[in-house]
Amino acid sequence: MEKSLFKFIWKYSARQQLVILLITILSYPVGYILLELPKLITNEAIQGGAFPKEIFGFEFDQISYLVLLCFTFLGLVVVSNGIKLVLNVYKGRLGERMLRRLRFELFQRVLRFRLPHFKKVSSGEIIPMITSEVEDVGGFVGESIALPAYQGGTLAVQIGFIFMQNPLLGLAAISSYPLQAYVIPKLQRRVVLLSRERVKNVRAIADKVGESISGIAEIHSNDASAWHSTDLSDRLYANYLIRFKIYNWKYFIKFLNNFMNQLTPFFFYLIGGYLVIEGELSIGALLAVIAAYKDLAGPWKELLAYYQMVADVDVKYQTVVENFDPPDIYPVDRLTSDDAEPLAGEIVFQNVSFSGGAAGQEVFEVSLHIPDNTACAIIGPDGSGRSEVLQLAAGLLGPNSGRVEIGGKSLDKLPESVIGRQIAYVGPSVHIWTGTVRDNLFYGLRHRPLRPPERKGEAVAEHERLLGEARQTANPLHDGQAEWEDYAAAGVRDADQLDAQALDIVQKIGLASDIYRMGLQSRLDPAQNSSLAYRILTVRQILAKRVEEDKEVRGLVELWDIERFNNSATLVENLLFAAPEDPSISLDQVSSDPDVKAFLKETALDSRLQTIGLKIAETMVELFANLSSDSGLLGTYSFITQDELPEFERILRASRSENEKLGLTPADKDRLVGLAFKLIPARHRLGVLDDATKEEIVRARRSFHDRIYKNGGRFVVFDPERYVAPMTIEDNLLFGRPRVDRRDARERIDGLIRSIVEEMDLRLPITRAGFDFHVGVAGARLSSGQRRRLALARAFLKNAEITILDETAAGTSDEEKALRGVILDLLKGKTLLFGASNLIVAQEFAHSVVMDQGRVVEKAKC
Amino acid sequence: MTLESEVEALRRVPLFRGIDATKLRLLAFISERTHFRDGEHLCNQGDQGDSAFIILEGTADVRVKTPEGERSVAQVGQHAIVGEIAILCDVPRTATLVALGDMDVLTVSKEDFLKLLKEFPEIALEVMRTLAQRLEKTTQDLAAIKAGQTAA
């Protein structure tokens, strides 16, 4: 990468910089005439004589001459500002493009780092480099050549103007420049050094903060917050010292500069005044010179600021870029090549040695011949070199000496389009991407955009713009909106078949029941999957019938019935008999929804609900106020959290107050209604809801429904005949609530649902719906076993010729053993390298290699 | 059925006799009110005990496994508290409870009951007193049996 900022700028924007320079030069004469005109106006038009004047064959008297000059002035003002506008827009765009190019280049370099390099760099350091540290560089690029050219030019024009009026005055105007030009760089040098230090300090802070976040459980479990707080505090102190020093130096430079600048007028007025008095200079000229002189300060200041900025930004650029140039970085081709040549055959290690930079990460002189289409176990404890051998075979590591070949091709030379598509690798620690189960399953099939979306009209132009910008900044031209799944690679024809394939695999590796449960908890868009929605409704009807016929079941569940109050559901569900269209909206938020508010007002239920809320608050405060905060009872049972308790005590006091002003505010009332909304009568048994109110609530449902039908959107009505999109699939199946006052009602109803789902052959479609389950940040909503199996399913879906598994299903438990059987069965006729630490596992494989301390100690048919 | 009526019922449970109404309301609130139908099991002998039952209404049959099969040994009725031993010490259920007719029961989970005891030592005292009385009674019974044996 270009080591210096100016090299980077010149390499990628020379043409644009020249355009900027050209426009800037064009603006010089305009600027000069703009300075000259006022003098002409005062001297010639206002004070001058000898009229009429003849210009281009036209005669002008004094007034029309004045008008002509003034309009010329006006015209030039417009032209000069127009140029400035065009220039600034051009510069801004160039700067943003260069920033994009730089950031992308940096990220691509991260992708090109070899794996061992990541042992030396941390994401906490890399992230601020790409995001914040280079930001100033982008802002600077547009200015880099234009600003000194423009401001330097302006300065030169103005100094030239002063010189033309009087050389002596000119000398006076620039008298302090040599001194400044000598002193300031010396001072600036110190600032540059401090800036470097500051950048590194901030990086260390970012890294420490990042590390604290990822190790937060360790901090708490070891009472190490004081340690980390102190560590960070010390770094912040260092940061403070550096920043304050920089500030002082910068301010000192500014001060020195201002001081010298203000010394100049001393010479200026002295010499200028003397010349006027002596009659060697006209007063008009002096006035214009003074005007020009005043304008000198601006460009000079800008130039100085520019100089300081160059120093600052160049340091930032260099301190960033030096981190992205490791000597052994992969060539760009490795990432961008789209060669998909087949990769199959014998896996051969020829005297392969590798050193990961620490003991236990080494491999010495390993030679192996693993015939293709066989399963081979690589056995060895952690630190034996097993993992390194497997990563070498997967092309993730490159050997320090020797060769790793598959089918006669050296892996180190092959691009990722070959290695990453023909080899499936699941390592000891898997990464699950933030997204849905489906995103993760098909991750190994998304190499290039394959089926672009159909675009029409404005969308085509919009896409063209996007591509145009990408070309300008050396970004990839891939279509992010296209479908990327490579059906052919997976051996299927279309999306349905791919889903079917995925279902088959998750069933085989024992993830299906987990995904089925995710499916039950997920939400379905009935518009997109109407047949499944319809079948779910069928199950709902069968269930309803079962409930009606079977007294035993009837006692366990309260179904949604628009004519009846559901004691096992919250008051708000009972009242609205609808759910917010956006399932992420909480009950608290519903109470401040405008439609809900208007409806409560109309039905006069709002004051009723406030009273209920007040009674609940009263009971909660009475029951829980005397408890110690650490009893834990409050959190588990109360409607109110410990933190909210004082707030509700205040609301209670306010409600008792006679004084209007001290009474309940509208926000308090909303809170009380929100509290009442959470009430589940059968669970909470507070006795605040009498039968009459329940009946009233049931009656009010219809009027709320009329309102939302009229106003449209935001709520979806519970309709037994329709699929209710905001409800989970499970809630849609049951369309009711297990009774909270019956023991194990939930479990028994779940069992019933499961059996009907089985009967109706819905298990697979619901599992498929579970593919849309969002796994949370980096799979946080999955258990570690689920994450591992998901990664395994992903590897199988790739349908690769060679599969490499390390520490996956490598245990000795029956479950793992069974999974191993499934894996071997799935990969029959393909090549499998299976890494395990336990020797017993080797017995299940025809071929095996045993590693110890980086060396092969035993080989069977390899 | 509301909290108030449950508090009334709790008041009649000997264990809670000396405890003031607010705390009983808290106890009632944190308990789960459960309905059992005829023949349903409240708990099974040998299971890990995780809750105590306070019978609000109805009767339960206490059954114990014997070599000759399950045998009913006693019946517990309204205002009785059962299973509290399981809460205090980790022993498996010593008997099976089966509802005779419809029953309403307050179920207190082990954690919550212990939290409550910590929060209000007077309840703990009352529990101690009751247990001590039971121990006293058991000791007397044992003494009587032993006396009977020696007499024979």
Q: What CATH number corresponds to the domain at position B81?
A: 2.60.120.10
- What does the alpha-carbon distance between residue A631 and residue B116 come to, in Å, rounded to a whole number? 8
CB A579 within 8 A of CB A722: no
State phi, psi for A782 to the nearest 5 degrees: -110, 155
The answer, for A637 touching chain B at a CB cutoff of 8 Å, is: yes
Nearby residues of A281 by Cβ (< 8 Å), 6 or more positions away:
A165, A166, A169, A272, A275
CB A365 within 8 A of CB A373: no
CA atoms in the 13 A half-sphere facing the CB of B57: 14
% residues pLDDT > 90 (chain A): 40
Is residue A802 in some structural domain? no
Please state the three-class secondary structure of A380-414 as a single string.
CCCCCCHHHHHHHHCCCCCCCEEEEEECCEEHHHC
- Strands A375-379 and A831-836, by their bridges, are parallel
Q: Most B CBs within 10 Å: which of A623, A628, A683, as the mutation test of the B interface? A: A623
Q: In this structure, what CATH number is given to the domain that contains residue A120?
A: 1.20.1560.10
Q: Which amino acid is at A176?
A: S
Tokens of B21: 């109404």
- What does the alpha-carbon distance between residue A17 and residue A15 come to, in Å, rounded to a whole number? 5
- What does the alpha-carbon distance between residue B2 and residue B7 come to, in Å, rounded to a whole number? 9
Is residue A499 in some structural domain? no
Is residue B21 in some structural domain? yes
Is residue A216 in some structural domain? yes
Is residue B146 in some structural domain? no
Q: How does the average pLDDT of chain A come out, rounded?
A: 88
Last residue of a domain, one of A324, A350, A374: A324
The torsion region of residue A829 among left (phi > 0), alpha (psi -120 to 50) and beta comes to left
Q: Which of A762-773 are b and which e, b meaning 16 or more Cβ less than 10 Å from the residue's Cβ?
A: bbbbbbbbbbbb
The tens digit of pLDDT for each residue in A826-852 reads: 998 899 999 999 888 888 898 999 999
- What does the alpha-carbon distance between residue A374 and residue A334 come to, in Å, rounded to a whole number? 28
**Residue A426: pLDDT over 90:** yes
Distance (Å) from the alpha carbon of B99 to chain A's nearest alpha carbon: 13
Put simply, the answer to whether B2 touches A687 (Cβ < 8 Å) is yes
The torsion region of residue B49 among left (phi > 0), alpha (psi -120 to 50) and beta comes to beta
Range A542-571 average pLDDT:
89
Closest CA to A401 of A361, A363, A370, A369: A363
Q: How does the average pLDDT of chain B come out, rounded?
A: 85
Range A308-329 average pLDDT:
88
Is residue A457 in some structural domain? no
* Residue B34: DSSP 8-state: E
Nearby residues of B34 by Cβ (< 8 Å), 6 or more positions away:
A741, A742, A743, B104, B105, B106, B107
Cβ atoms within 10 A of the Cβ of A857, count?
A: 12
Residue count (chain B): 152
Task: pLDDT band for B151, please (50, 70, 90 cuts).
Answer: low
Assembly ipTM = 0.82
The least confident of A141-155, A452-466, A486-500, A695-709 is A141-155
Is residue A385 in some structural domain? no
Nearby residues of A760 by Cβ (< 8 Å), 6 or more positions away:
A535, A538, A539, A542
Which one has a higher pLDDT value, A568 or A626? A568
Is residue B59 in some structural domain? yes
Residue numbers of the domain that contains A650: 530-764
Q: Which of A109-146 are b and which e, b meaning 16 or more Cβ less than 10 Å from the residue's Cβ?
A: bbebbeebeeeebbebbbbbbbeebbeebbbbbbbbbb
Interface of A with B in 740-769 (CB under 8 A): 740-743
Put simply, the answer to whether A687 touches B118 (Cβ < 8 Å) is no
Number of domains observed in the structure of chain B: 1
Residue A689 has a pLDDT of 86
State phi, psi for A361 to the nearest 5 degrees: -125, 30
Last residue of a domain, one of A308, A324, A340: A324
The tens digit of pLDDT for each residue in A792-823 reads: 999 999 999 999 999 988 888 998 999 999 99
Which residue in the set B6, B29, B40 is minimally distant from A623, CB to CB? B29
Number of domains observed in the structure of chain A: 2
Is residue B149 in some structural domain? no
Is residue A278 in some structural domain? yes
Name the residue of chain B whose CA is nearest to A689's CA: B2
Residue numbers of the domain that contains B42: 3-120
Range A232-260 average pLDDT:
92
- What does the alpha-carbon distance between residue A579 and residue A340 come to, in Å, rounded to a whole number? 50
Task: pLDDT band for A75, please (50, 70, 90 cuts).
Answer: very high
Interface of A with B in 673-732 (CB under 8 A): 682-687
Last residue of a domain, one of A715, A748, A764: A764
Is residue B137 in some structural domain? no
